[in-house]
């Protein structure tokens, strides 16, 4: 099961709205469960450098089926998977990437947000996740 275009649109709209409420310009990437791009939006004023970061946050969540900041705990120096962020053409392991699950708990995609402070990116991604099955 994969995220549909309609679901991706709902997630995207909620994320854009939250970024607007926070007064930030971000890039938002929505991927299917295999890590392939389903939807992307770069808000006016978002830095060019965060395009790749948003996509990689979403990819990290899709490939490892967890929020990116949880992956960060495994990739720190001395942790069991130190250096894993260098795999898969580089991953991003700080907050802003969240797996997207169907109503029955199956991962159908992921969202990655970048451009604000890390906590803001996470809040925008959470808003999108919340809208998925609303």
Per the CB < 8 A criterion, the answer to whether 112 and 58 are in contact is yes
Mean pLDDT value across residues 5-28: 98
pLDDT bracket for residue 93 (50, 70, 90) = confident
Domain containing 29 equals 5-132
CA 76 to chain centre: 20
pLDDT of residue 22: 98
Q: Into how many domains does the chain fold?
A: 1
pLDDT bracket for residue 60 (50, 70, 90) = very high
Instruction: Look over the chain and give the mean of its residue pLDDT values, rounded to a whole number.
Output: 93
pLDDT digits (tens, 9 = 90+) for 24-57: 999 999 999 999 999 999 999 999 999 999 999 9
Per the CB < 8 A criterion, the answer to whether 32 and 38 are in contact is yes
CA pair distance 19, 33, nearest whole angstrom: 24
Return the CATH number at 128. 3.30.450.150
Q: Which residues contact 87 (CB under 8 A, 6 or more apart)?
A: none
Angle at 29 between CA 27 and CA 33, to 5 degrees: 165
CA pair distance 85, 2, nearest whole angstrom: 25
pLDDT digits (tens, 9 = 90+) for 69-88: 988 887 877 878 777 776 77
């Amino acid at each position: 099961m994969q995220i549909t275009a309609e679901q991706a649109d709902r997630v995207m709209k909620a994320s854009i709205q939250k970024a607007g409420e926070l007064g930030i310009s971000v890039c938002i990437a929505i991927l299917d469960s295999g890590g392939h791009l389903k939807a992307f939006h770069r808000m006016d004023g978002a830095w060019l450098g965060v395009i790749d970061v948003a996509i990689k946050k979403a990819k990290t969540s899709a490939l490892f089926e967890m929020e990116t900041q949880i992956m960060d705990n495994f990739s720190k120096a001395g942790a069991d998977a130190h250096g894993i962020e260098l795999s898969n053409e580089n991953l991003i392991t700080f907050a802003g990437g969240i797996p997207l699950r169907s109503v029955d708990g199956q991962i159908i995609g992921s969202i990655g947000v970048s451009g604000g402070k890390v906590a803001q990116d996470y809040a925008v991604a959470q808003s999108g996740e919340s809208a998925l099955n609303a």
